[in-house]
Amino acid sequence: MSDGPAPVLHAEGLVKTHYGEGAPAHAVRGVDLSVTRGEFVAITGPSGAGKSTLLHLLGGLLRPDSGRIELDGVSTDNWSEARWAVERRKRIGIVFQFFNLVSNVSVADNVELPALLAGASPKKARTEREELLAELGLDGKERSMPGELSGGEQQRVALARALVNHPPLLLADEPAGSLDSKGTREVMRLLSRFHQRGQTILLVTHDARLASAADRVISFFDGRIADDAALTDTAPPRRGGISGVLELRD
């Protein structure tokens, strides 16, 4: 690795094979990847290329058959499931395609729970939740149940939940995969907005529109990185507080 600050995320030689009925599926085949602080990286490729498997490896949701992962320069080789769970509460936010909200609790509770589990006081968790839901255009939805919301609204709740603890790294796995074109545009705007404030984002998507919001795009095919290129020579991300409430309504 080069001199200078350690990447937020660094992986070397990641391999993952899925076994089940039929022939083994070689989902990830020797992947090397580094993501620096403040980067917005999109991983694109066809369905079945292994993109989601790679993201799940990087978030500790799956264990690699071989290879190593470092977070902020710290090896995760010996981390237990419990340690990974703690890191996902504090340092890694994850957004999934199908929202993964807790269906039998309110929007407010869905967002506050990760903060409480990470040790925040009830007052702090409530304040963070209120600010995020306001910014994401979800005022008045606090007491709603997830099933009462549209798909776009549910994904915004999922994004609030992922960001409530201000994690250094946000992993997004096909966050617009189950949304219509309006929902896709909303997700794209939101990811861009948080990136402009310095949020590090690693996005898996097959949607070229979402990928175009990133400043670096990795093409993934057959378990391998086929291409890795910056889209533009962008200035460093802007950092600052909330600059206003997004007017997002379904």
pLDDT in tens, 236-248: 443 333 333 333 3
pLDDT score at 3? 57
Q: Which two tokens stand for residue 110?
A: 């869905």
Query: Which residues 6+ apart lie within 8 Å of 4 measured at CB?
Result: none
Dihedral (CA of 185, 187, 192, 197) sign: positive
Average pLDDT over residues 146-168: 91
Residue 83 has pLDDT above 90, yes or no: yes
**What is the per-residue pLDDT for 222?**
92
Q: What is the CA radius of gyration of the chain?
A: 18
Give the H or E element holding residue 15. Answer: strand 9-18
Predicted local confidence at residue 142, as pLDDT: 92
pLDDT for the residue numbered 183:
82
Flag whether pLDDT at 66 surpasses 80.
Answer: yes
pLDDT (tens digit per residue) in 160-183: 999 999 999 999 998 888 788 888
Q: What is the pLDDT of residue 245?
A: 32
Nearest Cα neighbor of 158 from 192, 190, 125, 202 is: 190
pLDDT at 48: 85
Residue type, position 144, single letter:
S
pTM of the model: 0.85
Percentage of the chain modeled with pLDDT above 90: 58
**How confident is the model over 99-111, as pLDDT tens digits?**
889 999 999 999 9
**Token pair of 73 as six digits:** 């320069």
- pLDDT higher than 50, residue 249: no
Q: How far is CA 212 from CA 12, 25, 156, in A?
A: 26, 29, 20
Q: Is the model's pLDDT at 227 over the cut of 60?
A: yes
> Residues of 67-101 as b/e, b for ≥16 C-beta within 10 angstroms?
bebbbeeeebeebeeeebeebbbbbbbbbbbebeb
Mean pLDDT (whole number) for 191-201: 91
Question: Residues 37-52: pLDDT tens digits?
Answer: 999 999 999 888 899 9
The per-residue pLDDT for 6 is 67
Give the burial class of 190: count Cβ atoms within 10 A of its Cβ; 0-12 exposed, 13-18 middle, 19 or more buried. buried
What pLDDT sits at residue 80?
A: 94
Neighbours of 243 (CB within 10 A): 11
Amino acid identity of residue 109, one-letter, is D
CA distance 128 to 122: 10
- Mean of the per-residue pLDDT values of the chain: 86
Whether the CB-CB separation of 31 and 12 falls below 8 Å is answered with no
Q: Residue 44's pLDDT is what? A: 93
Query: How far apart are alpha carbons 217 and 145 in whole angstroms?
Result: 36
What percent of the chain has a predicted confidence (pLDDT) above 70? Answer: 90
- In the structure, what pLDDT confidence band is assigned to residue 137 with cuts at 50, 70 and 90? confident
